[in-house]
Amino acid sequence: MIVQGRCASLAEYNEHMDAIRPFIAEFVTRIETSFIGKVIESSNDDEESETLWLPCEDGHKQVPTHMVDKVEAEGDYMRVHVGDWNCLVHETFYRLSERLGPTDFIKLHRSALVRIGFIDRIIHRDHRWTALLRDGSRINVAKSQVHHVVQVMSSSSSNGGGDSSDDDDLQHRRGASGGRESIGHSVSGPLRRAQ
């Protein structure tokens, strides 16, 4: 709503505004509920699913989901890592993993979710699988998640420009050792044996 008028001085302006203020307040109160309801109802589901509103010092900031590197559980909270910055979010692991999407993120264990492109490689040493991340950190892969993680990382390397001989080499090594041979994965390269 716009109220337009001409006054000779600031004092005259204040006097006129004081006179019409109760009428404007009553009018706004009557239409405010409908107006706010319409704004809340109109939302873009695609945009909402591709971004997260994360708490920061000044309030909240909008972060595209493709910028999130990893999410780790800390008690009732989830620590969301975006580059060098991180924050705590009071949301369940399940709900946050749904919002981030299964095509870009992978669950390594019950309290760690990582963007697939943020995994540098996965290695198998001492009967344990570990994901080495691009920030230098390591996250152990739960036994229940190993098959899915290796499958996703293998398809990621073959779809990401790795040649078919790398996949044939992986199948050969798995076949020869029953799938128990140590292999690693590099996003920029083929699957290879851990040193």
Number of domains in the chain: 2
Range from 42-56, 112-126, 136-150, 167-181 carrying the lowest mean pLDDT: 167-181
Question: Does one domain contain both 179 and 89?
Answer: yes
Phi, psi at 18, each rounded to 5°: -65, -35
pTM for this predicted structure: 0.58
Considering the domain boundaries, does residue 64 fall inside one? yes
pLDDT at 106: 94
Most confident of 12-26, 50-64, 103-117, 142-156: 103-117
106-125 mean pLDDT? 94
Considering the domain boundaries, does residue 143 fall inside one? yes
Which one has a higher pLDDT value, 191 or 3?
Answer: 3
Question: Does one domain contain both 67 and 118?
Answer: yes
Instruction: Determine the structural domain holding residue 99 and report its residue range.
Output: 49-192
172-192 mean pLDDT? 39
